[in-house]
Structure 1
Amino acid sequence: MKRSFILMTLLALFGLQHPTSAAIIKKVAPTFWWAGMKNPELQVLLYGENISSSDVSISAKDILLKEVVKQENPNYLLLYMDLSEAAPQSFNITLKQGKKETVVPYEIKQRRNDASDVKGFNAGDVLYLIMPDRFSNGDPSNDIIPGMLESKVDRNEPFARHGGDLKGIENHLDYLDNLGITAIWLNPIQENDMKEGSYHGYAITDYYQVDRRFGNNEEFRKLVDAAHAKGMKVVMDMIFNHCGSENYLFKDMPSKDWFNFRGNYVQTSYKTASVQDIHAADYERKLAVDGWFTESMPDFNQRNRHVANYLIQSSIWWIEYAGINGIRQDTHPYADFDMMSHWCKAVNEEYPDFNIVGETWLNSNVLVSFWQKDSKLAAPRNSNLRTVMDFPLMEHMNRAFDEETTDWSGGLFRLYDYLTQDLVYADPMNLLIFLDNHDTSRFYRNDEDTKNLNRYKQALAFLFTTRGIPQIYYGTEILMAADKANGDGLLRCDYPGGWQSDLHNCFQNANRTARQREAFDYMQKLLQWRKGNEAIAKGTLKHFAPNKGIYAYERKYGNKSVTVFMNGNDKEQSIDLTPYKEILPKASALDVLTGTKIGLGKELTLSGRGILILEF
């Protein structure tokens, strides 16, 4: 034994020992990049066992390895490279530990000539929000993936996976195009390898991979290309505030300061109004922003520059790789203001027309307006966030069409009164407006309108003709209903017909009920008319206070205009048209909804809950 020890020592001294095996690299993020980006800096995160002691070199001659950053955890290395002079190429990253070498192949791809010309979504679009697990199962073979933590598929369980996927969405692009949709917004599709509740997608475990139960990265890019071929844009849901607790970045943290409260669970208060509250205590503000959304969703510390770079690069990677047209950022006010501002600016420097909408779930237009780009309320800081979500308008719309309207309160006066306050917004046209989404009760209620669809029809007419960017939730066109009081899982029911075993396939007109056909046809008429309508997409808004319960407003762009009259009461009403002459440029106009010519003489009569959409 003594002789063996001496021999091993001599071998070590003379460098003759048998080389140990190379380190196994578990993750490389991002897996590749592109030459010619406006920002030439690239962060490459390497994750493998005990790699931090390695000497790092790269074989590329025109790429500068600027910085090699070690973390507290020896399993990570962060490489910062300067690609200013880099041509498209493949090269090697070499990690050397004594005689042991680990070679990581890496590729810098050729960027498309038009890569920066991504067309973002805007007020000319209508977004159709889809929860991929609940829309359609186009490929049953990916329902269960061996080795993933949640392998159960049970359509009878609201919080289980149901099997919807990217192929199911692609299979129904014709349906969406026929309806009149111009953009689809997908709830998160990135990997959520969590033990339970992974169907919704908001606990990401790998920022660079599509969840395999939805498909793969290439299938997502194929879906985007197919949508583009039909003239539809694609908006991708992203989450920078938090990740899933099964994410390798949390399970084996690079360092404690990658997460708030040094990786220890502290619950957020959800009171994000404290961010802009000039009276807020420091404790309140810190708890709201740094606290965790839930225990299973640890909160990133975006003040750590490496975290910030990792997240920013992940979003740019998806834009460049898949050609998406927009991002919806979850829980925007819960993240660090300065980092999120930097992110929005970095994205728009690469893609000038790209649009990002932040989830700004706050209870007043003043609070929401703080988060919009160029807001005077946030000055001198600037969020650089072009589009924010108009949650207060959603609340008003969910009440307005139930109530009788007077000239001073209730019903449509709510909408008029709210829009009179648009001066708080830097850009009212860049507000995402909606009746409901995956987190709220559905607008349509099973017990409503036993004789007609007046509430539904008035709401859609307003949504599709007022200022802002409309969004509808999948199934609204066939009157899907659900109450949040019964749980979030039921808010995200399966679209009937998305599974081969479904008894009723509502993707097909013949299988819809008479009421569903009426609702679908009404929405389709409005959406198809709205496409390419510059008065709606770009026009100014001029409105009149309700008169005898009738609300009137005009959208105008150049010499084109649309004027809307809406009766907010159940009984017929007549009004003198003399005060409205400035929004009635002709003595008659075509009603968009009925195709009939409407005379605009001295008086106008509207039936109970009646609607006129007049195009000039």
Structure 2
Amino acid sequence: MLKKTHTSLVLILFLMTFGAQTGAQKVERLEPASWWIGFNNPSVQVLVYGENIAALRPSVDYPGVQLERIIAVENPNYLFLDLKIAPEARAGKVNVSFFQGKKERTSATLELLEREEDSASREGFNQSDAIYLIMPDRFANGNPDNDEIKGMQEKPDRSEPYGRHGGDLEGIQNRLDFIADMGFTSIWLNPVLENDQPQSSYHGYAITDFYQVDRRLGSNQEYKELVDAGRQKGIKMIMDMVFNHCGSQHWWMKDLPTHDWVHQYPEFIRSNYRLSTVSDPYAAKADLSLTTRGWFDTTMPDMNLGNELVKNYLIQNSIWWIEFVGLQGIRMDTYPYPDKEAMAEWVLRVKAEYPDFTIVGESWISEPSKLVYWQKDFPNQDGYNSQMKSLMDFPMAEALGSALNEEEGWGSGLQRLYDVLADDHLYRYPKDLVVFAENHDMGRMAHFYNSDTQKMKMAIAFLGTVRGIPQWYYGSELVMTGDGAASHGAIRQNYPGGWPGDETDAFTAEGRTQVQNEVFDYLTKVMNYRKTSEVLHHGNTLHFLPEDEVYVYFRYLNDQAVMVMLNNHADNDTAVDLSRFSEILRKYSAGTEVTSGREYPSLTHITVPAKSALIIELE
């Protein structure tokens, strides 16, 4: 009798406790919280998070929306719901209810939206574009009121090179005319999503919420307004995305959905960063595993895209941002590090919804023979196809960083540039490569050229005329210096004039020095010429071996042609006999140098000043 009473009391206490728990249950997160009607893929997988949410039964009652599958995982605080959206569904708020028995315990709302008109035909960036790369925290502070946000861990400190400085989306929007006037038609922003880390979170690569713009930069709506404003001024927006890792303070790191949501070890293990292991047919599994499964940094847990739920979450997130803000491009950070099959699937799923959209992958690989593994349609031995047409041209960047500092020789000086172009036979799509001299991870151009503005102008001429899509790093037009190997903070400076109270305003000619204006004006002339030059957008290349420190190449298309002459002599002006180039020059009798306006009525001899470039439009 006593035993029966004890059992009954335990049962009553259990039911009371369970009832209290379920009564208090609520959906803390629903991601994504909105989706669109009319995608080629009619299904969306919704992550639901809430204490013991898996103990409840989800239900959806909305015309045109069907709950196809409920996925429970090892953590009862998560459910994943596969919803199928019929083409005839109407925009509205889809109520997702969670029941215990017949009683609804909690609910959440998925907002169903109509796609923007012509969304699927959105054009990405291409060879007609020139890209301006901006680190948002360091460019311009349009709204000082958002510099410090209550509840966010890191506070602003402009005196700290690795601190938050206060640049934001409003500051960028205020400078769109400035960027457009320089001749740039696309902006690549380093990541703008929330990085609520205790320190050094300004760069954006330790994401703590994949659906929220960092409030110190602005809001989701302000991001959309920036993209819309850019489009009106002929500027496309490229979003920097990260699939390889998240921030250590991401909300799910305290309560992971599955043990394999991120790659875990008994203790921290850093990636070896050896990307050659991925394509190497002889690579040891241990080396390959450390490349792709090791963490990028102590604050950046390595995401496991081999987990179908992780992969789907990130793919959907990228589609959500494209549709929500109207992006024209994505730059994918650390492209070769995650599961390569998952990354190829991502490209295909994005292109299925946006056929003309552009994605460029960061594959920091110095040799074309290894880089081509990551370009679409290369006949890899293992059958892998990345589906990624556009890549960052690191071989060219590294060659350019050395070429102008060296004398001509076998494999040195301007021969480096010739040799990188000669490797274009490897690429299926060489004109889709993004060419650059520097970025937010490398040393500033003025650093490796020792502030030699003549070398900088030669590099500008090359980037503006060589095949591919040029990318420029903000502030280098001001001859900013900084050694990226020594300090990332040193190459991520504030743009003078971007903050209230700045002593100088380099957004104006009056606020720039004579040397800064010399480089700024040259860059502006080259990029604005390139903006309207079909031959530089789509033309073929013909180049001649460098001789006597002079490298000459041509871009040609139908009857149009541009001749580029680079003289790498430190002190000597060089008179060049043009008869050597008769196989193309016989079609032309004169030319005009596009940055100076100087006319060349005869194409027999041209003198190229020391350490300079000539860009001559042929007639």
TM-score by length of 1: 0.95
2:250 corresponds to 1:247? yes
SS in 1 for 2:129: coil
Counterpart AA for 1:404: E
Q: Is the CA contact 1:28–1:45 (under 8 Å) kept in the aligned structure 2? A: yes
2:481 match? 481
2:341 equivalent among 328, 335, 338: 338
Write out per-residue CA displacement over residues 464-509 of structure 1, whole angstroms, 9 at most, x where no aligned residue: 1001111110001111111124311111111111101210110011
Aligned CA RMSD, in angstroms, stands at 2.3
Determine the C-alpha separation between the residues in 1 that align with 2:21 and 2:157.
51
Q: Where does residue 401 of structure 1 map in the other structure? A: 404
User: 2:505 matched to 1:505?
Assistant: yes
Shift in alpha-carbon separation, 1:608–1:421, aligned structure 2, 3 A? same
1:279 shift after superposition: 1.3
Task: Please tell me the residue identity of whatever aligns with 2:240.
Answer: D
CA contact (8 A) 1:376 1:426 kept: no
Q: Which of 121, 126, 141 pairs up with 1:122?
A: 126
The structure-2 alpha-carbon separation of the partners of 1:109 and 1:567, relative to structure 1 and needing over 3 Å to count, comes to same
Map 1:439-458; keep pairs closer than 5 Å: 439-445=441-447, 448=450, 453-458=453-458
Taking a change above 3 Å as real, the CA distance of residues 104 and 263 of structure 1, as seen in their structure-2 partners, is farther
Q: Does the aligned pair in 1 maintain the 2:193–2:209 contact within 8 Å?
A: yes
Give 1:574 shift. Answer: 2.1
Q: 571-580 or 335-344, which moves further after superposition?
A: 571-580
Which runs of 5 or more structure 2 residues have no equivalent in the other structure? Answer: none
Q: What are the residue-to-residue correspondences of 1:120-519 with 2, within 5 Å? A: 120-150=124-154, 152-261=155-264, 265-377=268-380, 380-406=383-409, 408-445=410-447, 448=450, 453-519=453-519
Aligned CA distance change for structure 1 residues 76 and 260 (closer, same or farther; 3 Å): same
Cα distance in 1 for residues equivalent to 2:468 and 2:503: 38
Q: Tell me how far 1:71 sits from its aligned partner.
A: 1.1
Please list the CA deviations of residues 58-89 of structure 1 after superposition, one character each: whole Å capped at 9, or x if unmatched.
01132221110011111101000111343323
Report the Cα offset of residue 9 of structure 1: 8.0
Residues 31 and 46 of structure 2 are in contact (CA less than 8 Å); yes or no, is this contact kept in structure 1?
yes
Instruction: Give 1:34-113 correspondences, 5 Å limit.
Output: 34-85=36-87, 86-98=89-101, 99-113=103-117
C-alpha distance 413-600 of structure 1, shift in aligned 2 (>3 A): farther
Per-residue CA deviation, residues 397-446 of structure 1 (Å, 9 max, x unaligned), is 0111122335x453211111221111111111111111111001101139
Task: Give yes or no for contact 2:552–2:563 (8 Å, CA) kept in 1.
Answer: yes
Q: Is the 8 A contact 1:22 1:100 kept in 2?
A: no
- Structure-2 change in CA distance of 1:8 and 1:424 (3 Å): closer
SS at structure 2 position matched to 1:25: coil
- Do the aligned residues in 1 keep the contact of 2:391 with 2:432 (CA within 8 Å)? yes
Query: What is the one-letter code of the residue matched to 2:271?
Result: T
SS class of match (1:556): strand
Gaps of 5+ in 1: none
Q: Give the distance between the partners of 1:281 and 1:186, measured in 2 at CA.
A: 37
Query: Residue in 1 aligned with 2:25?
Result: 23
Cα shift readout 1:6-30 (whole Å, capped 9, x = no counterpart): 899899999xx99963522211100
CA 1:447 to 1:272, structure 2 compared with 1: closer, same or farther past 3 Å?
A: closer
**Contact kept in structure 2, 1:256 and 1:262, CA below 8 Å:** no
User: 1 CA distance for matches of 2:187 and 2:565?
Assistant: 30
| Paired residue type of 1:154 | D
Shift of residue 36, structure 1, vs aligned partner: 0.4
Take 2:601 and 2:546, find their aligned partners in 1: how far apart are those partners? Answer: 21
More divergent stretch after superposition (582-591 vs 131-140):
582-591
**What are the Cα deviations for residues 336-380 of structure 1, in whole angstroms up to 9, with x where unaligned?**
110000001111111011111111111211111110111123662
- Distance of 1:352 and 1:378 partners within structure 2: 27
Instruction: Give the SS at the match of 1:102.
Output: strand
Which shifted more, 112-121 or 93-102?
93-102
The alpha-carbon distance between structure 1 residues 303 and 69, as it changes in their structure 2 partners (threshold 3 A), is same
Partner of 2:574: 573
TM-score normalised to the size of structure 2? 0.94
Aligned identity (percent) is 43
Please give the alpha-carbon distance, in whole angstroms, between the structure 2 residues aligned to 1:9 and 1:589.
Answer: 94
> For the residues of structure 2 that align with 1:171 and 1:252, how far apart are their CA atoms?
40
Instruction: Return the letter of the residue paired with 2:611.
Output: R
- Of 603, 606, 614, the residue aligned with 1:604 is 606
Q: Is the 8 A contact 1:257 1:263 kept in 2?
A: no
Distance of 1:125 and 1:447 partners within structure 2: 26
User: For 2:465 and 2:77, how far apart are their aligned partners in 1?
Assistant: 55
1:70-122 residue CA offsets vs partner (Å, 9 max, x unmatched): 11111101000111343323221011124352121222111122111221111
